[in-house]
């Protein structure tokens, strides 16, 4: 695993529950009622995985920057 993850949010899927922003406010915010990462590339952190796994519509993805492997949400 690399030392960096890429956070993505599918704004078409996001329903604006703000669970991600509540779980990981240092990584997510709401913009016009939709989730957005504060930065696209982050150091690995369990709270980022928690936010992705808690999204009810799986709008958040976390990928390894070295090989683009999907880390979260868990399948």
Residue-wise pLDDT for 11-65, tens only, equals 999 999 999 999 999 999 999 999 999 999 999 999 999 999 999 999 999 999 9
Alpha-carbon span 40 to 14, nearest angstrom = 17
Instruction: Assign 1 a pLDDT band (cuts: 50, 70, 90).
Output: low
Instruction: Determine contact, residues 11/28, Cβ cutoff 8 Å.
Output: no
Alpha-carbon span 29 to 35, nearest angstrom = 6
Structural domain harbouring 17 = 5-72
Q: What is the pLDDT of residue 11?
A: 93
Q: Per the structure, how many domains does the chain have?
A: 1
Instruction: Assign 74 a pLDDT band (cuts: 50, 70, 90).
Output: confident
Tokens at 68, concatenated: 């683009």
Alpha-carbon span 30 to 66, nearest angstrom = 28
Domain CATH number, residue 22: 3.30.70.20
């Amino acid at each position: 695993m690399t030392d960096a993850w890429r956070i993505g949010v599918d704004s078409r899927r996001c329903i604006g529950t703000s669970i991600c922003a509540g779980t990981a406010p240092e990584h997510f915010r709401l913009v016009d009622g939709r989730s957005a990462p504060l930065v696209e590339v982050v150091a690995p952190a369990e709270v980022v995985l928690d936010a992705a796994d808690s999204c009810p519509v799986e709008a958040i993805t976390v990928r390894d920057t070295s090989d683009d492997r999907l880390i979260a949400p868990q399948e």
